Amino acid sequence: MSVSDIATLTAGIRSGDRATLARAITLIESKRADHQKKAHQLVQDVLPHTGNAVRVGITGAPGVGKSLTIDTLGTHLTGQGRKVAVLAVDPSSTRTGGSILGDKTRMARLATDPNAFVRPSPSSGTLGGVAAKTRETMLLCEAAGHDVILVETVGIGQSETTVADMTDFFLALMLPGAGDELQGIKKGLVELADMIAVNKADGDNLARAKAAAAEYRAALHILNPRSPNWVPPVVTYSALTGNGIAELWAQVLAHRERLTQSGELAARRREQQVKWMWSMLEDRVFSRLKSDSALRAKLPRIEAAVAEGKLSATLAVEQIAAALGV
């Protein structure tokens, strides 16, 4: 792929061509060294045209209705004339059939909406590697004119922190009537959340949803909010009927306005950019560990020496670092 090909890709992305955007993301996800070099240039070329989208991270336990929520919210937004991109951070999806692979079927409306773009996460390697590709994909989608980016996480462990670190607003979805709400609340997750939304607030579940919301509001009072400029609200909604979706989005916009006025949004994004840099650097170092055949041959011996107590972990790290030239 030549420089002119990169220019053609950039122009196609800027024009909003979906096929070109999909091809560019495939280039980003490729592990080939020559493709990676071109991908880095492509991201650099589109960078001036990024940063204007509303970036929303969405998490929740399996069964909470993430896919239907995203489908309903995304359809609501495209109905307002917005262009929506749905991305995912799920390093295990192709091995477990996790939340994202079925999204093109579970997000039936968005999958056929010309103003929406649904893209599964790359299936390779570590969470850090997947997240790096998701971040770059987000930039390409923004350059293509998508003004809302919805980033879904499987809602397990470190993926929540990773998604919170690449978005402006972090939305935690909860279920009503799932036993003691305070037992199910994860302190780390709630401290990351900019809003808690209780799904399935319809029919016989309505009273349970309102009760759960009251429990979460009480819990939030004793936790430190993520931002000094925003008190995370707790709302109820129904992804099935669409009730409460408009109010949910209104809170996202209110948060954006508040953090923009205080300067916190710009500061948060600057901090995220630096975190992305270090994340990608770590990923590159680990890639060297895997790709350097000479080093790979030494590692079992070094590991065995550490396990047997013959070599300290500190000296082992020094040996590995020296072999990497760092």
Measured N-to-C along each axis, helices 18-29 and 33-46 cross at an angle, to the nearest 10 degrees, of 130
Ranges under pLDDT 50 in the chain: 93-101, 179-181, 183-184
Transcribe 176-232 into DSSP letters. SSSS-HHHH--HHHHHH-SEEEE---SGGGHHHHHHHHHHHHHHHTTS--SBTTB--
Of 297, 288, 291, nearest to 321 by C-alpha is 288
pLDDT of residue 303: 93
> Where does residue 24 rank: exposed (0-12), middle (13-18), buried (19+ CB within 10 A)?
buried
Per-residue model confidence as pLDDT tens digits over 60-118: 878 889 999 999 999 999 999 999 999 987 655 444 444 444 555 578 899 899 999 99
3-state class of 64 per DSSP?
Answer: coil
CA dist 264 to 151, 223, 229, Å?
Answer: 21, 20, 8
Transcribe 221-233 into DSSP letters. TTS--SBTTB---
pLDDT of residue 87: 93
Of 149, 6, 157, nearest to 84 by C-alpha is 149
pLDDT of residue 306: 95
pLDDT of residue 122: 60
pLDDT of residue 157: 62
Per-residue model confidence as pLDDT tens digits over 20-55: 999 999 999 888 888 989 999 999 999 999 999 999
- Cβ(235)–Cβ(217) below 8 Å: no
Q: In the chain, at which residue ranges do the beta strands (DSSP E only) sit?
A: 54-60, 84-89, 116-118, 148-153, 169-174, 195-198, 234-236
Computed from CA positions of residues 129, 141, 259, 175, in that sequence, does the dihedral angle turn out positive or negative?
negative
pLDDT of residue 255: 98
The full set of domains in the chain, from first to last, is: 1-48 (1.20.5.170), 50-262 (3.40.50.300), 275-324 (no CATH)
What pTM, to 2 d.p., does this model score? Answer: 0.86
The whole-angstrom separation of Cα 87 and Cα 89 is 7
